[in-house]
Amino acid sequence: MSAEPTVSLREHLERQIADLEKRIDQRATLVIAANDRERIVLNERLAGMNEFRGQLRDQASAFATRELVDQRFAAAREAIEKLEKANAAHEAKIAANRALMAVATAVLLFLQVLFEFLTRR
């Protein structure tokens, strides 16, 4: 007969169950370790995202509000309109001065021609 030791079915099944329990425990340990690593990585990512959100919040607080920008643009528009009106008035004065100079030049030329005409006789 064979020299192999004989094992009862019960002992065989108990060994198989013990091996399965050992493997399950090992896998559970590995899953828990992986879960812990993933939790750490996720927390680091969330901390980075929170820092980024904080930077965006700080940056947004440094921006001018729409109301302030609208006020500044309205003031700038008013100043531009005043300057345009002043420029138009100044150009009208210049045009009037040119017309007056043209009339004065014409009168002087007329007087010069008249004087020469009268002094030749």
The yes-or-no verdict on residue 36 having pLDDT over 70 is: yes
Letter string b/e over residues 85-113, b meaning 16 or more CB atoms within 10 A of that residue's CB: eeeeeeeeeeeeeeeeeeeeeeeeeeeee
The predicted-structure confidence for 39-80, as pLDDT tens digits, reads as follows: 999 999 999 999 999 999 999 888 888 999 999 999 999 999
What pLDDT does residue 121 have? 67
Per-residue pLDDT, averaged over 84-99, amounts to 95
Per-residue pLDDT, averaged over 74-96, amounts to 96
Question: What is the distance between the alpha carbons of residues 43 and 30, in angstroms, rounded to a whole number?
Answer: 20
Cβ partners under 8 Å of residue 64, min gap 6 = 72
- CA dihedral (93, 98, 102, 103) in degrees, to 10, reads 0
The yes-or-no verdict on residue 7 having pLDDT over 90 is: no
